[in-house]
Amino acid sequence: MSQYKIEAGTAQHLGDRTEQQDRVALFAAPNAPGYMMAVVADGMGGKSGGAMAAEQVIRTAKALFNDFFPEADVKALLETIVNEAHTIIKLAGVSAEKEPHSTVVALVITPKKEAIWAYAGDSRLYRFSGPNFAERTKDHSYVEKLVDEGKITAEEAKTHRMSNVLVNVLGSTSAPPYITFGSYQGLKATDSFLLCSDGLWHYFSDAELSAAVAANSPRQASELLIRKARERAHGHGDNCTFAVVKLVKPPAEQKTYTVEKMRRAV
């Protein structure tokens, strides 16, 4: 019997924007039993360009994961997803006379008790061990660079006037995106992950996110986090999008993962 089962859920809120330009999805691999993927993309660009870019990330991820086999390399899969989505977004922007861009963060859980992830931009992945924060991705942003250089603190970065300036995105015509990878071996029940756009993480500390995910089911955590994010946005919130992936002890008769989804646009 497996040592854990996967419970996962997605959630979205329009925030105070006029258009939902984020996308999120959970996928199983038809040819690779026991593998699952979570993807979050935060689209940017006027005239619906951002929504198109984020949607392309999801479509590319789904198509390539559908063709994935267990003997293939997960890191290579994630790299191909990012590069192919980037190329299509860039070409679509030229033909449509738009300037679409998107971030991406993608996680793959394997039956070998390992997690592999990749990202470009400032959509984040958090890893939690039980109720404890373990690690998170580092944003590809201008203010993160300032933090690394010791010029501002992490708290100051949240309210910096250039906090929304990214140095790495999909769809850029000036340079291809660079991809940062991460992994973790030896997954166990009580481990969990959160993938999210800046419309969520901007309003929470690492400890707050860890506690919310640990103490609740994916649906309950989604409801709590959206409610708190809306309260703290004070009428100026961005699109809020995320996926929660929790590893829990399985009932004796159940070995598959369950999926919960919640979408709000109010």
User: Is beta strand 258-263 parallel, antiparallel or unpaired with respect to 5-13?
Assistant: parallel
| Per-residue pLDDT tens over the stretch 134-160 | 999 999 999 999 999 999 988 888 888
Q: Which residues pair with 41 in a beta bridge?
A: 23
Domains of the chain: 5-137+167-248 (3.60.40.10)
19 pLDDT above the threshold of 90:
yes
| Per-residue pLDDT tens over the stretch 38-52 | 999 999 976 678 999
Question: Around Cβ 174, how many Cβ atoms within 10 Å?
Answer: 4
| Helix or strand run (H / E) with residue 42 | strand 36-44
What predicted TM-score, i.e. pTM, was given to this entire model? Answer: 0.92
Calculate Rg over the CA atoms of the chain: 18
Nearest-angstrom CA–CA distance, 236 and 17: 8
Amino acid 1: pLDDT: 44
Confidence category of residue 63, pLDDT binned at 50, 70, 90:
very high
Nearest-angstrom CA–CA distance, 253 and 266: 39
